[in-house]
Amino acid sequence: MKYLTVVGMLLISLVAVAQNETAYVELKNEGNEALRSNDFATALQKYEAALAVWPEEEPIDGAMVFNLATSARRVSDNEKALDYYQQSAELGYRPDFSTYYIASSLNSLGKDAEMEQVLLKAIDEYKTSSVLGHMKKMLTTYYLKQGAEPFNQAAQTLASAANADPEQYDEITARANESFAEAKPWFEKVLEIDPGNENAQSSLREINSRIAN
């Protein structure tokens, strides 16, 4: 009787171990199903649960980590999205797309300087990627925004000259030119990435005509 009890306990233990060994697979599959149904919150929960019980001896599934990052992004958890896309890139799973979404997450988090560096490196590294155009678009949009701020300030400064005393004109023009000079490098950066960008070309023509005078 004692022998049967020991055997029974051993069998229960083996079943429990077997269940633990397959739990991560089941959780991953449940995450996949939730993702296919666009239930991103559930997918995030299931994938994270799978990752938490993933066996140490089993290689991490890069596709699952990428899907986990995507689920986090789709529920606007940008911190988690950034973390998991970085893990996905480190695992070598779709590194160009993972890097693009790293930059996108940084952009959403307002970490512009980090985003810029990630994109500059990615544009150089993934020259044949299908997401290269999106990388360039994200970077040039950032540059255009940065250049637009001092450019618009310069335009407003010049507009104020219409109601100013004539003797103030030179001082107003000098202040406007300082803002134009501040804007210029940003538009030049745009053209380094996108030489045909008409917005940057037009802005630079205006800046150069003002500063030249």
Helix, strand, coil shares, percent, the chain, to 5:
85, 0, 15
Contact 68, 44 (CB under 8 A): yes
Question: Which tens digits make up the pLDDT trace of 37-86?
Answer: 999 999 999 999 999 999 999 999 999 999 999 999 999 999 999 999 99
Q: What is the mean pLDDT of the segment spanning 189-204?
A: 98
Residue 12: per-residue pLDDT: 44
Distance CA 143, CA 138 (A): 9
Determine the average pLDDT of the residues in 182-198. 98
Average pLDDT of the chain? 91
* Residues 85/98, Cβ–Cβ less than 8 Å: yes
Average pLDDT over residues 89-117: 98
Give the whole-number percent of the chain exceeding pLDDT 70: 90
Q: Provide the sign of the torsion angle of the four alpha carbons 141, 151, 114, 48, taken in this order.
A: negative
Share of the chain above pLDDT 90, in %: 80
Q: What does the domain layout of the chain look like in residue ranges?
A: 2-112, 136-212
Please determine, for residue 3, whether its predicted confidence score (pLDDT) is greater than 60. Answer: no
* Residue 55, Ramachandran bin (φ over 0: left; ψ between -120 and 50: alpha; else beta): beta
N-terminal to C-terminal alpha carbon distance within the chain: 104
Is the pLDDT score of 187 beyond 70? yes
Alpha-carbon torsion 183, 189, 193, 194, what sign? positive
> Would you list the DSSP string of 3-17?
HHHHHHHHHHHHHHH
The CATH topology of domain 2-112 is 1.25.40
Q: What is the pLDDT of residues 6-48, one digit of tens each?
A: 444 444 443 444 455 679 999 999 999 999 999 999 999 999 9
Kindly report the pTM of this predicted structure.
Answer: 0.86
* pLDDT at position 113 over 60: yes
Band of residue 89 on the pLDDT scale cut at 50, 70, 90: very high
pLDDT of residue 158: 87
Q: How confident is the model at residue 166 (pLDDT cuts 50, 70, 90)?
A: confident
